[in-house]
Chains A and B, each alone.
Chain A
Amino acid sequence: MHPVSVRVDNLTKRFSETVALDDITFHVGKGELFGFIGPDGAGKTTLFRILTTLLLPDRGTCTVEGCDVVKDYKRIRNMSGYMPGRFSLYQDLTVEENLNFFATIFGTTVHENYDLIKDIYQQIEPFKDRKAGKLSGGMKQKLALSCALIHKPEILFLDEPTTGVDAVSRLEFWEMLKRLKEAGITILVSTPYMDEASLCDRVALMQNGRIMSISTPLEVIRNYPLTLYSVKAGDIYQLLGELRNYPGVHSVYAFGQSAHVAFKGPANQADLAAWLKAKNHQSVEITPIEANIEDCFMELMTA
């Protein structure tokens, strides 16, 4: 077992009537890339704000690298890097000025920790005299990551770093995270994109302020309890509606150009095909498939 980096026990946070975090417990090992997956409003940002000492917990204990988030908040601020969900660097300062500014207030220099950010910063260096507000989404995110890394943190908190970023930049970003993980940095990352979950060491599925499950992406898939089929037909909308009425169906949802249909037990593929034919569907294709991580989360969230 790794030494523990983040330890959260029975954490609860309320905002007047709303329970943002409801009795959450989890541990993150040192050097782990730990993901939080969940829809908007699941409590991911609140959790991150507590761990980065911006919010005080109502109940429960949280420690980061052995430091309590309430009592030892000063030490946590020195050793953690935080990238908020919203781009929050100075838009009217240039790339270089932003980086220098954050280096200075962390009491260090860009030069001192250049190794760590080199790979990332080099990609935006050609634009170092451009104002941060004028950067594209992907570049803003690289700059924000550079700023969060400038003081060589032991742990990184990335709150939805890939929201609003194009698919290519997203992939690149996860590549960067892998390299940072290799450098020994513990990374906690939240995302609403389920496909990104498979890139984490472990993922926690969050919903309505609770953690529904914590496991490795492989385990998540292995534990998928249902039989899954991919169904294609001419009119996907009509198909989705009618499949819900098929006897024995557990769940139906759109997945790209096809419908994913799940059954609790084994199902007869030929019967389903015949049933759809009878409903006047053209060019019906039914394939049994392995569940991917998104299917698993859809199932976990509706459970």
Chain B
Amino acid sequence: MKTILYIIQKEFLQVFRNKSMLPIIFVVPIVQLVILVNAATFEMKHIRISVVDLDLSGTSRKLTSKFQGSPFYQVQSTSFSYREAEDEMKQGKVDMILQIPAGFEKRLVKESHAKVQFVVNAINGQTAGLVNAYSTMILFDYNRELVMENANPAQMAGLRNIQTDYSYWYNPKLNYKTYMVPGILVLLITIIGLLLSGMNIVREKEIGTIEQINVTPIKKIQFIAGKLIPFWIIGLFELAFGLTVGKLLFNIPMEGSLGLIFMSASVYLFVILSFGLLISTITNTQQQAMLVSFFFMVVFILMSGLFTAIESMPEWAQNLDRLNPVMYFIKIMRMVLLKGSTFADISHHFWSLVIYAVVIISIAIRRYRKVA
């Protein structure tokens, strides 16, 4: 026990003596939260449209002003040539073209239906879908107004109308930041945990100190515990720090118990640190360890549900994702922080992490040998 404590003390000494460590621990979380949370958003604002109004009637102008009035749209240009508008889209100046054909109003009055055209830049499919949905909604809204205006009260009474009311649960204002902060925090402690632990033992290999350690009677378990515990503490501290920054800067909700968060984080960090340890046992230089960690990190993070919904992944990918520790912890964080889930709600994810931790640390300990 005394030996473990001494190794921990030594690790901390080395960590804090390393001049780049303190900025990594304190500056990185703030920068990541501030930049990523604000930048990595799917909210569409200022969709630039080009209006090709070939009708120039009252009705067409009203439709245009509907778009203009929406906070999501910004009429970038108007022209009378579709070709011109298309050129603008090719140059990336507009995201959507709204074309109102000549005779729009006339047809609407005479035949009581008319057509308009949306042309959406769909290079980014997700954005295009959103733009389309917004536009359809505006058009639908406008349609209803038209019906109301033109119908006489007797007809109105006969019109059955189903109205939809929205209520967004757990994130009533549809604040994207609320959704992102917990995920970014997971990202943060994953990077810190995986890189620090992976690098650390490989570094001892690289500078040869591991030789000197290996000839001592120190037990494997003492050495590993002494190596992992400092980074475990740093990781938990990092999470607490990140949550504080999130609360202060973004006022993220904390519906559930923080105790539950930290309990899950303890297990999660254990998984990540063991993973780092495993990587360090199969690599010989910091560069190798870095590349291997990066490989896993990219896969884990992109498949974690941080940016894209797991539910939209193909089934095989969803099955594969069961091996992704980051996914479990992001779910736990979002469930507990945003929904106020209790242990019973997250128990599946929690126990998955526990199993993961046991498996990985066993492999890592088996792989770590004091004899070559």
Q: Is the CB of B214 within 8 A of A93?
A: no
User: Is A147 interfacial (CB 8 A cutoff)?
Assistant: yes
For the complex, what is the distance from the CA of A18 to the CA of B217, rounded to whole Å?
31
B31 interface hit (Cβ, 8 Å): no
Please, which residues of chain B bring their CB within 8 A of the CB of A78? 217
Contact assessment for B217 and A107 in the assembled complex, using a CB-CB cutoff below 8 Å: yes
- CB–CB A107/B3 < 8 A: yes
Q: Is the CB of B217 within 8 A of A90?
A: no
Q: Are B211 and A54 in contact (CB under 8 A)?
A: yes
A215 contacts partner chain B, Cβ-Cβ < 8 Å: no
Chain B contacts of A97 at CB under 8 A?
A: 10, 13
Contacts of B173-227 to chain A: CB distance below 8 A: 207-218
8 Å CB contact of A54 from B10, B17, B215, B218: B215
* In the complex, chain B residues whose CB is within 8 Å of the CB of A56: 371-372
Min Cβ gap A140→B in Å is 12
For chain A, the count of residues having a C-beta within 8 Å of the partner chain is 30
User: Is there a chain B Cβ closer than 8 Å to A80's Cβ?
Assistant: yes
Which residues of chain A are within 8 angstroms of B210 by Cβ–Cβ distance?
88
Q: How far is the CA of A274 from the CA of B371 in the complex (A)?
A: 62
A93-B14, A105-B7 known; A88+B211 contact, CB < 8 A: yes
Within 8 A of B (CB), among A48-77: 49, 52-56, 73-74, 77
User: Is A114 positioned at the interface, with any CB of B under 8 Å from its CB?
Assistant: no
Contacts of A229 in B (CB 8 A): none
A173 at the interface (CB under 8 A from B): no
Is A54 touching B207 in the complex (CB atoms < 8 A)? no
Q: A55: nearest residue on chain B (CB-CB)?
A: B372
Q: Is B83 an interface residue (CB 8 A)?
A: no
B307 on the A face (CB < 8 A): no
Q: How far is the CB of A11 from chain B (nearest CB, A)?
A: 16
Q: Is A255 an interface residue (CB 8 A)?
A: no
Give chain A nearest CB distance to B51 CB in angstroms.
65
**B6 at the A/B interface (Cβ < 8 Å)?**
yes
With contacts A90-B14, A92-B17, A93-B14 taken as known, whether A104 is within 8 angstroms of B2 at the C-beta atoms is: yes
| A297 adjacent to chain B (CB < 8 Å) | no
**Residues in A lying within 8 Å of B, measured CB to CB:** 49, 52-56, 73-74, 77-78, 80, 82, 84, 86-93, 97, 100-102, 104-107, 147
Sampled A-B contacts (6; CB under 8 Å): A54-B215, A87-B208, A89-B212, A92-B14, A102-B216, A107-B217
